[in-house]
Structure 1
Amino acid sequence: MSEHMKKIKKQLIDKDITFTKLVALSKFKSAWGLRKAINRGSLKTLSEIKEILNRM
């Protein structure tokens, strides 16, 4: 698991949000695609996720 994924999972726990809900709020259609993009370190994806988590 990448460091990005670990940080995102911690934020999800702190904000009481499921990964499935995060997928629904993002541009991704599947959890698999989102996980793959996060683990690869896609800057566009990471900034989108950061923006979503900051809104919540």
Structure 2
Amino acid sequence: MSEIKKILIDKNITFTKLVALSKFKSAWGLRKAINRGNLKTLSEIRLILNAM
């Protein structure tokens, strides 16, 4: 989670915007998936962040 937060700060993107771009409907669900280490979610988030 800390690595994702650093990338969000560097790219000036809010977590809310990241939620809107992902398949998740709530920030809570996305945070839970990231903290649990869901590999599918982590790869999706990396693709979104790399595209920006």
* TM-score category (smaller protein): over 0.9
Q: What are structure 2's unaligned runs of at least 5 residues? A: none
| Residue in structure 1 matched with residue 31 of structure 2 by the alignment | 35
Q: Normalised by the size of structure 2, how large is the TM-score? A: 1.00
Q: State TM-score, norm by structure 1.
A: 0.93
Q: How many residues align structurally?
A: 52
The percent identity for this pair of structures is 85
Alignment root-mean-square deviation, CA: 0.1
The correspondence for 1:49, drawn from 15, 40, 45, is: 45
5+ long unaligned stretches in structure 1: none
